[in-house]
Amino acid sequence: MSLSTVINAGLVVPTRPVRALVLMGGGARTAYQVGALKAIGAMLRLQPRAGRDFPFEVLVGTSAGALNAAYLAGTAATGLSAFDQLADFWSQLRSRDVYALEVTPWVRFSRLLAAASLWRNVRGHGAILDTMPLVDTLHKAISLQGIDDALMKRAIDAVAVTASSYTSGVHWTFCHTAGDPRHEPWNRPGRRSEFQPLTIEHLMASSAIPFLFPATSLWVDGRREFFGDGSMRQVSPLSPALHLGAHKVLVLGVGQPERSSIAGTPASHVASAPTMGFIAGHALASVFHDTLQADVEQAQRVTRTLKQLPREIAGVLPYRSVEVVAIQPSQSLDALAQAHAHELPGAVRRALGGLGALKGGGGVIASYLLFEPGFVQKLVALGERDAYARKEELLAFLGAATA
């Protein structure tokens, strides 16, 4: 988050305070966001001074967080019940609704067979997993018409999703609004935006986990480019919310800023080198989570600096202060996934097991693919607990704190 982003975003002058919800990516781990949002909805219903309207004007999502953002945008016109509908969707979701993998049962006994079988999938689908099930699921679950209705009714002002172009290397944010002239596209080094109606293709592009999910083509600047997961090259995850006019930003991440162990062993006691499974999981964690904490801290630091300026100077600068609240899991999702790795579909479990990727920190990889009830329910419950632990802060952020 640069100072120029904060100042340039201040040029957007909304007619009312704007609250943004930023949902980070992380595959199945984003069920954590569902629990936090479900708790927020329950909190607001119990506040006598709180309304029942949808509490965020801007929705920004990346990767699987983009799927959650789009679902909420499509149901925002129903108010707080949008959070419950999202929770119901996740309660019915299974891995078979997201991806498919066909491998021979013999892969569990040989890394060579496992690698050959997965390579065959890569040649057939452009990635290890076939994501046509997710295409079908999103067409049934995401209401594109509902997004248009929510924008026209001013239930929300904007919804945006991000994706990374394999073709140009540019990180794109695709913004869907009701044609508000206050919002203009931005162009920063390595980061650009385009205003266009969202489609299922945008969501597939944003959530295309590298190597696991195939790339998706989209049209930008009058040409077709191939896109992958929006978490890649995402150097400033908060900037779209600020460019879209947010005064307050609630960020729901799904990673741990610091991993304290390998496969449950305290870091101080680890003597052996990390396994291939742990290294692969560490690489995925870097794709999804490394920039969030730094961006939040920088945004908060820039805002504090701007607030400390003399009033005479602040009054002539084109800026606004931005309040940022970030919530991330209070316990390791890696360890939680390790305990539920047996729930993975048989083919995935056999393939990862054949590669030795379920040992020595293999829970990291499993956590992105475990769209199964046991793991999802644990994440939802954890999200609820973490949100309730910060109840007063969240209610004050949403302007619904009790007197």
Cross-strand partners of 323: 248
Q: Are 161 and 69 in contact (CB under 8 A)?
A: yes
122 residue type, one letter? V
| Cα–Cα nearest to 343, from 382, 385, 379, 289 | 379
Reading the block at residue 367, the tokens are 């956590």
Alpha-carbon distance of 66 to 48, in angstroms, equals: 31
- Catalytic residue positions? 63, 229
Ramachandran angles phi, psi of 344, nearest 5°: -55, 150
What is the Cα gyration radius of the chain? 21
Q: Is 245 left (phi over 0), alpha (psi -120 to 50) or beta?
A: left
Under 8 Å between Cβ of 196 and 216 = no
Strand partners, 193: 173
What span, in angstroms and rounded, lies between the C-alpha atoms of 352 and 107? 9
Cα separation, 61 vs 318, whole angstroms: 27
Token digits of residue 361:
């920190």
Three-state secondary structure readout of 176-219: EECCCCCCCCCEECCEEEEECCCCHHHHHHHCCCCCCCCCEEEE
Please tell me the distance from the alpha carbon of residue 240 to that of residue 295, in angstroms, as a whole number.
Answer: 12
φ/ψ of residue 96, rounded to 5: -65, -15
The position carrying tokens 């600068």 is 317
Cα(293)–Cα(289) distance, integer angstroms:
8
